[in-house]
């Protein structure tokens, strides 16, 4: 039986009289992320190419930081504590913008590590501090600039 371009097959079921099953689903491998007919060999993790860590991390950092600053300024100057709008703005900068800044810092440090520029354990201090006060990421940018310039000068 064909309905709207799809083929259906009726099969008996013990609980119901007949059950409708798509014929195409009968012949489809139900594996996620794996192609049964893939002929490429599987590479060992050491033989795989390095993943591309470059991303828009500095842009995400800048947007999230500007959003954090604008929402905090809005909260401090215009909003009355205890209102719905006040709570919404507060959620915006504490639960969305600040963690996004911290994540962008960590991802940017991973991107630098691919180029063999290590920030070290201080990245965790920057990330934790940015959860409370996001503009601390400006100090990270200064530290990042210093390390990049130093690596270029030594090369």
Per-residue pLDDT of the chain (155 residues; tens, 9 = 90+): 555 555 555 555 544 444 444 444 444 544 445 555 666 667 777 877 776 777 899 999 999 999 999 999 999 999 999 999 999 999 999 999 999 999 999 999 999 998 889 999 999 999 999 999 999 999 999 999 999 999 999 87
pLDDT at residue number 101: 97
Instruction: Tell me the C-alpha distance between 152 and 50, whole Å.
Output: 22
pLDDT at residue number 102: 97
β-pairing, 2-3 vs 18-22, is unpaired
pLDDT at residue number 40: 66
The single residue listed with the structure tokens 């996620």 is 32
Contacts of 86 (CB under 8 A, 6+ apart): 75, 79, 80
Q: Is the model's pTM score more than 0.85? A: no
pLDDT at residue number 21: 46
pLDDT at residue number 98: 97
Task: Say if CB 143 and CB 118 are below 8 A apart.
Answer: no
Helix axes 122-132, 137-154, angle to 10 degrees: 150
pLDDT at residue number 110: 92
- Residue 13 is classified by DSSP as -
């Amino acid at each position: 039986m064909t309905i709207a371009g799809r083929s259906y097959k009726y099969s008996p079921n013990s609980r119901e009289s007949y059950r409708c099953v798509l014929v195409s689903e009968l012949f489809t491998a139900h594996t996620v992320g794996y192609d049964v007919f893939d002929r490429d060999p599987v590479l060992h993790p050491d033989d795989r190419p390095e993943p591309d860590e470059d991303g828009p991390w500095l842009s995400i950092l800048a947007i999230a930081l500007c959003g954090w600053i604008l929402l905090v300024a809005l909260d401090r100057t215009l909003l009355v504590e205890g209102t719905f709008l006040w709570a919404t703005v507060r959620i915006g900068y504490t639960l969305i913008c600040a963690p996004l800044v911290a994540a962008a810092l960590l991802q940017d440090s991973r991107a630098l590590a691919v180029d063999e520029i290590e920030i070290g354990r201080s990245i965790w201090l920057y990330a934790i501090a940015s959860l409370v006060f996001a503009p601390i990421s400006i100090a990270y940018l200064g530290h990042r600039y210093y390390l990049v310039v130093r690596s270029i000068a030594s090369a």
